[in-house]
Structure 1
Amino acid sequence: MINPFAGVGGAVGLKGSDGADTVAAARELNASFGAARRAMPALLKLGGVQIVTAAGPMGEDACREAGLPARVVAWPKSAVTSPTDTRAACQSFIDAGAKLILFAGGDGTARDVATAAAMDVPLIGVPCGVKMYSGVFAMNASRAGELAARCARGPFDVQAVELLDIDESMLRADRSSSRLHGYALAPVDRARMQGSKAQMPANDRADTDAACRQLAAQFEHGTLYIVGPGTTMATLCGHAGVKGTMLGVDAIADGRLIAADASEATLLGLLDEWPSAAIVVGVIGRQGCLFGRGNQPISARVLARVPRNRIEAVASVAKLLSLADGRLFVDTGDADIDRALAGPLRIRTGANRSMVMRVMN
């Protein structure tokens, strides 16, 4: 099941894709509707698997492009699909005997799918949205397809995982309201599934504050710093002398806020103006994602313009030690960029302190 509008608001800075108004705004900003493209690596792993799907852009078109003989059992009510269409399609899958639901979308889509699946049918999410904080998502599309194909070949273990989501209207007002919406079943696979997002404990803040203070003091004159979202990055902006947007991507240079809550297009334009640039991001607790979860304006095209050795990350030691298998990962939607970002990366954990972590693609 593909949510054809998943992720449409990410690169253009809308912080989500929920609702017809957001989709319309994204169209006005010439956003890319790329959920089916993002899901394709998953579908290409499903040869020999019996598949039921929904008509048109909700799955049928992508299955046909991937060469998969899928049986259509659900039909959306209109060209602009809705959560009601998602829930109805998943109920049709279950009625047709589906033992696993593979869906492409974000946290909002996960909640809609889980409403139909209840705690009866396990889910695997292909990350195509803006927010993917829930525990039903695989690390990337390829791993989602690998796991779905493995589950189709025989018995597999499942576990209850958290369904998290953020109120997008509050997010656009730069106010985070992430909350637990319930639980869903997902296959157990530490190598392929991400964890659900964890909040930073209060006792870690002193170390990250010291790391941010030192990093801000080392900002170079004449260099554009692209700063990702999150509370740690908001702390960095404060030490750099600017008020960041916390839940958006900001650009700082020479002690000034050059762009607040920037879109991909804005960042690409700034990179044309500033030959020297660096990127600084935080780490999503318990997940370990650097790029591809909530910071889509720092897209593959933006990352291609900044040398890897000019990418910085800040996180507490406790947060890094909590990561599944001690891994960081990236999921930009561009396999070449993901491979280029893979390898050892030094993470600032405090003043004059750091850890080297391996980034997976």
Structure 2
Amino acid sequence: MADISRFRFINHLRANPTTHVRHLRKGRLVHDGPGQAFWFRPLNSALSEIPIDDREQPLLFHGRTVDFQDVAVQATVTYRVTDPALAAARIDFGIDPDHGHWRSTPLEQLGGLMTELAQQAAVDLLARMSLTQALSEGSAALRDQVGSGLREDERLTGMGIGIVDVRVVAVRAESDVERALQTPTREMVQQAADKATYERRAMAVERERAIAENELQNQIELARREEQLVLQKGQNERQRAVEAAAAGQIQTEAQAGRQRMLSQAEADAKRVLGAAEAEAEKALLAAYQDLDQATILALAIKQGALPEIGTLNVTPDLLTPLLSRLTNGAAQ
């Protein structure tokens, strides 16, 4: 809004660059343009302040489709005042010369008019569309329809209003109808999700089966290798036993051979020794054969072959031969 300063009987106005100010003094145009700054007398002045910047007007209205379904349309219209003089002549943009406030609500009036015009254009289009078409294709069609309808409307052009842009934010059906329309898509998405879940589970089962089969194959391979190892160990043990038996047999045969050789040598030695002893005994016996009993007895006593004599009994049978021999010897 314009800034107005009061000094006794005269006031000063300073406007913004985005507002167009028209100053009429006694019905004659004195100041006209944006960003004005001037002195004026409140008693003989009429002031109008028209915004010339871009303004946005939100729109929310309802329409009915060809299949009798209620549709809510949310849109935004961007507009500006292209002819401030024409707008000031058609709409009351007058401001209080003491405070600078609008005397009425020109922007609300303009917004209401714009909403009605946009709604009329949108309702005419929705009446020719089904609910499915309105929800799927309605945004672009409504944007074009509302934009062209507002730009070509003579009431807006006659007020010096230009439409800059039209944006349709949303086209919504009633909540229960919208949920009903969303059900097939939700079911399809749920089916796709279930399918993906089943495929993931099937893949997981297949992977688990492959892992189990791989583990089973590993166990079979380990069992086969263990069997080969046991067979190889058995063969090695048998071979070791055979080799040990063969070595033992060879050792036993060698030991037996050595034993036989030793026994034979000992036997031969004993035979030779026995033969020698027998020959010696034979020669000794042959030497003793011609000796008389007394000589043999004397030799036996000399060699210590007789046992120890504890008590000696001299009988006449023993002394008679001895005395006889002594006698014969003395006689000779």
Smaller-chain TM-score range? Answer: under 0.3
TM-score (norm 1): 0.19
Higher helix share: 2
TM-score (norm 2): 0.20
Relative CO higher for 1 or 2, CA cutoff 8 Å, sep ≥ 6? 1
